[in-house]
Structure 1
Amino acid sequence: MFESEASTVAAKEEQYLTVKDASDLLGVAPNTLRSWGASGKIDEYRHPVNNYRLYRMEDVTALLKALQTPVKKTSSNRHDKERKRVRGN
């Protein structure tokens, strides 16, 4: 293999993360990440030799951004209305 081919292969390998590395980056358990992959929340790839799950770095960073985006709370929540009623507000 030529040096340029080796660096191209290495660059392609760096674009993928193992279950452990991706779950550590996301701050979740490995089984949670596997579950998200099975449910389609993140794409899974397989290593051609050992069949291990792999995740693209691009997909992991996009999911990380989505997890860090705060969800706006609305006051139309049924539980909020019940709390106000109980407190007399």
Structure 2
Amino acid sequence: MSNNYLSIKQASEILGVSTLTLRNWDKNGKFPATRHPINNYRVYKIDDLKKFMESFGQKQQNTTISKAQAKKLIVTHLND
């Protein structure tokens, strides 16, 4: 395959997750892999990896805190 693809190990190192996590994400559709035509190994398109990282970053920025976290912040603030 061309240089536009990464192995599962390379993709896992870039994302900071294990190869097992990437396999699970592929199985459940969270981040599907492309299969190498000769050996059927999972490979990842660089463009797909970039898009996934961008969408993951946006989700992280939009995350809200839980009620328990909010209560802890209020208690900490009141105690200060």
**What TM-score does the superposition give when structure 2 sets the normalisation length?**
0.71
Map of 1:15 onto structure 2 = 4
The aligned length equals: 76
Give the Cα–Cα distance (whole angstroms) in 1 for the partners of residues 70 and 16 of structure 2.
33
Bigger relative contact order, structure 1 or 2, given CA contacts below 8 A and separation 6+? 2
Q: Bigger radius of gyration, 1 or 2?
A: 1
Q: What percentage of residue pairs aligned between the two structures are identical?
A: 33
Check whether the contact 1:43–1:59 (CA below 8 A) recurs between aligned residues: no
CA shift, 1:62, in A, is 1.0
CA shift, 1:47, in A, is 1.1
Which sections of structure 1, spanning at least 5 residues, go unmatched?
A: 1-11
CA shift, 1:81, in A, is 6.2
Instruction: Spell out the pairing of 1:67-86 with structure 2 (5 A cutoff).
Output: 67-69=56-58, 70-74=60-64, 77-80=66-69, 83=72
C-alpha RMSD of matched pairs (Å): 2.5
Which sections of structure 2, spanning at least 5 residues, go unmatched?
A: none
The correspondence for 1:39, drawn from 28, 49, 52, is 28
**What TM-score does the superposition give when structure 1 sets the normalisation length?**
0.65
